[in-house]
Amino acid sequence: MVRVLGYFRDGKNFAEPVGEIELDADTEARIAELGISRRGLLTSLAGMASLMALPQSIIPAMAQTVVSPKKPSVVYMSFQECTGCLESMVNSFAFRGGASIENLLLNIISLDYQETLMAAAGAQAEEQLANATATPNGYVLVVDGSIPQIANSGFFVSGGRSGVERFRAAAQNALAIVPVGTCASFGGLPKADPNPTGAVSIRTLMTQLGISKPLINVPGCPPIPEVITGTILYYLTKGLPSLDSLKRPKIYYGETVHDECYREEYFEDGPRVAVFDDKAARFGGCLIDMGCKGPVTHNACSTIKWNQGVSFPMMAGHGCIGCAEPDFWDRLNINGKKGFYQRLAPGSFDD
């Protein structure tokens, strides 16, 4: 029996027992041929399925995907970014032997282009990019960072090409496009007022360029690592997940951070934190008066949590700054006042 830890709720791990998993003969043969641990692989996949709240019946299909003779190719390109998204992805784990980055890179996907990790540089990197993007519908294109809308502005050039043209070329043959992080999903920090470089999101740029491809936004500044890897794995196994109007997977972004926060209990009747480190803060009271944007922010911070489930912003005493929402640098405020410590206007959200 493969036993997997699922969501953390109420400070407790709930263990989801996973029964014996039957795989088709081809998949079993591939596992043997590759010499990888069957148990290790299934535990890992069960962990991913659990995080996505998917039934264990999906595990055989996931196994089939990841041991296929040709691993799915992922091309990861960076534009106006800070590398925080990649740092986050490298922290991916998925509870107890899940899709750790090592596992992901060695066994699950072929990361054919990623500038921060790849061995090749310069001409060899460019050649690698050309090879990796040559086959129609041959790869998932992951993008972090926004892109300056005007190609010849000089605000983004890499390998002698503008962000616009670099993206256009890479998008051409992509199976699907996964903007990772709030910059790629919605424009993020570069697009914050007054948007000095004319930065736009990937979705906006695709409209401008007339590129029509399946698109899954994975916002967050940065996104939770398991949300990044889980989204990629879900797409490779089952195709497009159910998306909301902002193209976010509902499995991760369906609820607000407030909905699942353990401090939500104290929203109505207190205790509420009035000053950092006050009595209510030490108790773990509601942070709404400290400007918490949890009630209007859709993300999985309070369920999956961060860094192997050890904490999340409110658990460590600071309100949510809303980092997975479009234009959170400017929009989540009251009375025209911007600010992470400005209280949300009463009535501006459903409790």
Residue ranges in 89-108 that form contacts with another protein under rule CB under 8 A: 90-91, 93, 100-102, 105-107
Residue 325 within binding range of another protein, rule CB under 8 A: no
In angstroms, give the least distance from the CB of 12 to another protein: 7
What x-and-dash track marks residues 283-322 binding another protein by CB under 8 A? xxx---------------x----xxx-xxxxxxxxx--x-
Tokens representing 306?
Answer: 């961060």
Write down the residue that tokens 């500038």 correspond to.
115
Angle (nearest 5°) at CA 148 between 144 and 153: 140
Q: Give the residue ranges of DSSP H helices in 172-257.
A: 181-186, 188-191, 202-209, 225-238, 250-253
Residue 88 within binding range of another protein, rule CB under 8 A: yes
Residues 6 or more apart from 14 whose CB is under 8 A from it? Answer: 5, 6, 7, 8
> Which of 62, 112, 142, 326 is the binder for another protein (CB under 8 A)?
112
Residue ranges in 121-150 that form contacts with another protein under rule CB under 8 A: 121-128
CA distances from 5 to 1, 23, 45, 307 (A): 13, 22, 12, 15
Residue ranges in 19-58 that form contacts with another protein under rule CB under 8 A: 34-36
Q: Is 78 among the annotated ligand-binding positions?
A: no
DSSP state of 107: I
As a whole number of angstroms, the distance between CA 294 and CA 301 comes to 10
Residue 196, by phi and psi: left (phi above 0), alpha (psi -120 to 50) or beta?
A: alpha
Residue 277 within binding range of another protein, rule CB under 8 A: yes
What x-and-dash track marks residues 148-187 binding another protein by CB under 8 A? ---xxxxxxxxxxxx--x----------------------
Phi/psi of residue 334, nearest 5 degrees: -130, 155
In angstroms, give the least distance from the CB of 176 to another protein: 19
Write down the residue that tokens 């209280």 correspond to.
343
Nearer to another protein, 19 or 123 (CB): 123
In angstroms, give the least distance from the CB of 311 to another protein: 4
Binding site as annotated, residues for [4Fe-4S] cluster: 82, 85, 183, 221, 258, 261, 286, 292
